[in-house]
A = this chain, B = another copy of it.
């Protein structure tokens, strides 16, 4: 085919015009659009989550499933051809639930014997086959406990029944407000000679699912068996206790704390082109509770983090700094992975520029919570016009994530992805946290939000007067 000079001239003019037209589009705007397009049409986070949930499932630290998750994540990141994929050895606690728990009200005037839905708290000791049988004392908080004192608590089961505050708009706030019952409640009760603790599930829902989660025994106090009870059964038990002084409760748990086990943080990296020794981390935790599949907590964070690297690579963005996806070991009952990562970063003199954690579920992202310097805060605020078209509107100072928090003393800027919080504590730590309740688009949007922030941090820098643009 032969072109006339006139046709060629037209072609050249068109080219010039097209170049000029492109100039009008802000390159940052264009890059973020590319990130979203790639993730929303080619994103693999949802299918990766399906594999993790359905073919591996729950993966408590130290469990065989946790080992499977480590190997799966390593192979997956290798398959993406990231520049580096490696494991960091971490010794983790090894708590096992053992056979299913039993709980029943006995001696109730109204109901006689009545089974209750409970689950052992993570890290708790078990009752063994003999179980615990005792009267129940209901309290709302530690102040009431102190008022009752040893006289009224010795030999009893303490029942913590302070609900999550439904009027909080951010459910995470309500979780924080109710959390000490589970975390410290068993040991607080042990102070006064209680023989067991039952904690109302930290849930925003009213149903029959008990929600586990770790308890932390105080060093020098007796370790008493501790369980969570479903919100419905907590209400039932509370109701029965109102006029049933003879009521006793029996429960049986078979959990045990075994010897620590070697596990791993799994790290994938795209090495930076200009500052390879500076790191931006995106992370989530690979362990989960055993009652379900750890889909939102924190399968979402795991596949989000991997998707960030996959997306940046797929759109051909070569970061200046090294970007790492870090899948932390043992967030749920020890934080050993996060601590080890920070320890190694210090030991190896790795300069961590920023770390972003996704550990609040795979829901529609609404923005970020930032534990950052004022300079970085200002900088991130200036990116709002780039991110708000993607329905990201929260850019507040606040917490970040448990795993990355150990990096704080090294002066790392810490950021947490903030998805919509309304559904999270309905299923968090319960048998309901399965793949089916994760929405594909919501999950992918979380990954795209993180990728966009990583891109901006890397390309623009967090400190206006510093190197970079």
Contact = CB atoms under 8 A, between A and B. Distances in A.
A440 interface: yes
Contact of A171 (B169, B170, B441): B441
A40 B389 CA distance: 30
A204 interface: yes
Nearest to A205: B440
A259 interface: no
A36 B166 CA distance: 10
A422 B393 contact: no
A396 to B, nearest CB: 11
Interface string A193-206: 00000000000110
A427 to B, nearest CB: 10
Contact of A439 (B36, B37, B364, B423): B423
Interface string A117-135: 0000000000000000000
Contact of A169 (B166, B170, B390, B439): B390
B441 A167 contact: no
Interface string A14-42: 00000000000000000000001100110
A426 interface: yes
Contact of A441 (B36, B204, B391): B204
A166 B41 contact: yes
A167 B40 contact: yes
A435 to B, nearest CB: 14
Nearest to A444: B166
A422 B444 CA distance: 11
Contact of A422 (B205, B422, B426, B441): B441
A445 interface: yes
A420 interface: yes
Contacts of A166: 40-41, 441
A208 interface: no
A442 interface: yes
A440 B203 CA distance: 12
Interface string A385-416: 00001110100000000000000000000000
Contacts of A393: 393
A420 B204 contact: no
A37 B169 CA distance: 10
A391 B171 CA distance: 12
B423 A420 contact: no
A59 interface: no
The 7 closest A-B CB pairs, nearest first, are: A393-B393, A422-B441, A40-B166, A422-B442, A37-B167, A423-B439, A364-B422
Interface of A: 36-37, 40-41, 166-167, 169-171, 204-205, 364, 366, 389-391, 393, 420, 422-423, 426, 439-442, 445
7 contacts: A37-B167, A166-B441, A169-B391, A169-B445, A171-B441, A364-B364, A426-B441
Given A36-B169, A37-B167, A364-B364, 8 more contacts: A36-B167, A41-B167, A170-B391, A205-B440, A420-B420, A422-B441, A423-B439, A426-B441
